[in-house]
Amino acid sequence: MTRIRLRPYHPTNVVQYFGCLHLDVEARRNEIWGRQLSTLSEMAYNEAGFDHVIEKIQGDPHGVEIELVEEYDDICLRCIRREKDEKGSVWGRAHSCSSSRNPKVVANVNRINGEVLGKLGLQFGSVVRLGDLVELLRERMPQVSSPKGQASYDRGLQVLSSMLAGGVPGPDAAPPPQ
């Protein structure tokens, strides 16, 4: 069993990412990070973390379990904004990032994490098989905040459900990240 550690707000982002894998790299970056990038040829600050998680899931979707964590997760561990810091931060020990130094961001992340955990009926430390999490997201969180993101989220749920059902998504559904 492969365990992927995610903060509660990241599973919906992972689903959206799966919904964009049929796009070329620049179109995917535009869809996922859009205005955050000055040019779509540059890698987003946490793109390597998402690519790593996507690859783990694609490698064996039935053998993946997700642990919901409060600190740095498997996406954050590869983020270029994460830096060594002896004092640590609200996100974990021995590291910090710009988001952990912004009280508004911390409050927003804590609020969203609480909302997601409440909707899913889970808590920090919960471990759930990927297939069960996809079903929880489909049943209890069928919508995300933006119409643009909703299309990617819906497609991502379809791609993941197909993978977990043993079916092979269409040829343009989910090639490996580039």
Domain of residue 127: give its range.
2-81+123-164
Mean pLDDT of 120-131: 98
Asked if the model's pLDDT at residue 175 lies above 50, the reply is no
> DSSP labels for 19-85?
TTTTS-HHHHHHHHTGGG-S-TTSPPTTHHHHHHHHHHHHH-GGGEEEEE-SS--TTGGG-TT-EE-
- Within a domain: residue 41? yes
Asked if the model's pLDDT at residue 169 lies above 90, the reply is no
- Within a domain: residue 30? yes
- Within a domain: residue 8? yes
- Within a domain: residue 116? no
- Number of independent structural domains in the chain: 1
Mean pLDDT of 27-54: 88
Residue 13 or 170, more confident: 13
Give the mean pLDDT of the chain: 90
Q: What's the pLDDT band for 114 if we cut at 50, 70, 90? A: very high
| Spatial distance between the Cα atoms of 113 and 21, rounded to a whole number of angstroms | 25
What per-residue confidence (pLDDT) applies to 129? 98
What per-residue confidence (pLDDT) applies to 1? 94
What per-residue confidence (pLDDT) applies to 148? 77
113 CB-side CA count, 13 A: 18
Mean pLDDT of 122-135: 98
- Within a domain: residue 159? yes
pLDDT in tens, 152-163: 999 999 999 999
Q: What's the pLDDT band for 168 if we cut at 50, 70, 90? A: low
What tokens appear for 27 in the block?
């179109």
Residue 87 or 123, more confident: 123
Mean pLDDT of 135-155: 92
Mean pLDDT of 127-133: 98
| Spatial distance between the Cα atoms of 113 and 94, rounded to a whole number of angstroms | 22
- Within a domain: residue 29? yes
| Choice among 53-67, 81-95, 123-137 with the minimum mean pLDDT | 81-95
| Spatial distance between the Cα atoms of 71 and 119, rounded to a whole number of angstroms | 20
- Within a domain: residue 28? yes
- Within a domain: residue 149? yes
Mean pLDDT of 116-122: 98
> What burial class does residue 33 get, using C-beta atoms within 10 Å of its C-beta: 0-12 exposed, 13-18 middle, 19+ buried?
middle
